[in-house]
Chain A
Amino acid sequence: MELAVISMKNHVENQEISRQIRDYHKKKGQPLAIRFSEELTHIILEAPCLFIPDPSMLNRTSASQGR
C-alpha cells in the first residue's frame, strides 16, 4: 500500500509537533509508523493516511509526499 510520509528535521520543536501528530493518530485509532533517519537528522512519520491536527504545524521545514 502506498504510504504518506512526512520527514522533518529532528529538533525539539519538531519533536513536539511529531508527538502531537502521534497522539492525534492514537486518539483516532489510526496507524502511524515513526522512525528516524540515519544519524538521527530527521524524524520520519509514515501512515496510509496522515492526520495533522493543525495544518499550520507543517511549514517549509518539513517535506511531505504521498497523500
Chain B
Amino acid sequence: MSRLRASSASWLRSREGLATLGFVVLLVVYPLAMPRFWVLSIASNAMILGIAALSLVFMAGYGGMVSLAQAALAGFAAYMLALATLEPSTTATGSAIGFALPALPSALIALVLATLAGAVFGAISSRSYGIYFLMLTLALAVGFFYIVLQNYDIFGGHIGFAGILGPTGQPRENPAAFYYMCVAAAALTYLGLRYVVRSQLGLTFQGVRDNPRRMKALGYRVGLHRVVLFALGGFVAGVSGVLGAWYRGNISPGIVDLTRTIDVLIIAVLGGLGYPMGAFVGAVFFVLVDVFASSIKIFGFSFDERFNTLIGLGFVVVVLVAPTGLVGLADRLWQTAGRRRRRPLPRAIDPLAAEAGIAPAPIPALAGSPEVPGRPEGDLPTPGP
C-alpha cells in the first residue's frame, strides 16, 4: 500500500494512469452529453447486468464456482426490496405484506437477505464441484423461478409488484442521477472485489479453488470458505437486483426466469470468465446487440424478432472460438503486440479457458507440485490460530 501511495503521483502521469483518468472523465461526462435512451437503456442497464455478471466472474475466477444462481439471487434481492419498500396495499394480489420503508433502508435489508440467501445456496452446493455445481445452481435458480411464479402470498405470483421507487425517483425523470448511482455501485463492487481478492481471505479462496484437498490438510475449512464466497457473490448479485428493481420500477417472475439466468452467464462468458472487467465489457456488448438486433442482417436474414437466436449463435461461437471472451482476446492481441500488461490482481483462473487448454489450469486436487501457475508465489496464508 505504501508503495502505491508513494507512486500515485507518477502513476497519474503514466500512460496507464492517463487512460484510467480519461475513462473516469468519460464516465462522468457521458450522461451530460448523451440522450436519455443512451443513458438509461444502454449505459445504466449495462451496469446493472454487468454487476450481476461480475458476481459470477468473481465466483468463477477466484473460487472455481461457475454459479448459475446469480440472476436468481439478484431477483431475490429485488423481491425483498419490493416487500420492504411497498405499502401493504400496493401488492397486486391483495396479500398484505409490505413494510413501507424508505428506499435506502429497504435496499440495505434486501442486500443483507441476498447475502444470506447466497450463504444458503452455498451451504446446499458447497460439497459439489465443477459441472455438478453448475447443475445444482441451475436447479436452484430455476426452482426459485417456479417458487416466485406460483407463490402469491409472498412473491405476488405471475403479476409481481409495481411502483418501486429508488432514492433518485423515476429513472426517466432524472436519468443522470440514476446513471451516477449505477456507476457508483459498479465501481464500488468492482473495487471492493479487487480488494477482497488481494486480502488474505481472497488468497484463501484461490487456494480452495486450486487445491481444496491441500487447503483442507492445512487446516482450512474448505466448505465454509465456499459458503462465504457464495454469500459475497449473493451480495454483489443483490446490488444488481436492487438497482434493476429501481430501474424497471416493477418486478415479475420474468426477472428470474431461465432466460435471465442464461443472459448473466452469456454476459460473463462474452466478456471473459477470467477478467472481472470483462463482466462490464460483456454487458455493454450484450445490451448493444439487444437494442440493435433488429438492424443486424447476416446473409440477408434479419434478426428483427429473433434476438435470442442471434444471442444463442453468438454464444456458441464465443465458446467455440474464443473461450477467454472479448477481454481475453484483446489481452492476447495486446500481448502478441509485444506489450506486457501489468497484472496488479492475483490471477483469476478462467475455468472455461483452462479446460480448453488456453489458460493455466488449476492443478487437480491431488497433492503435488508446489507451484501453481499464475498464482503469486510464497504467500499462501498461514492458518489462523
Chain A partners chain B: no
Chain B residues close to A by CB (< 8 Å): none
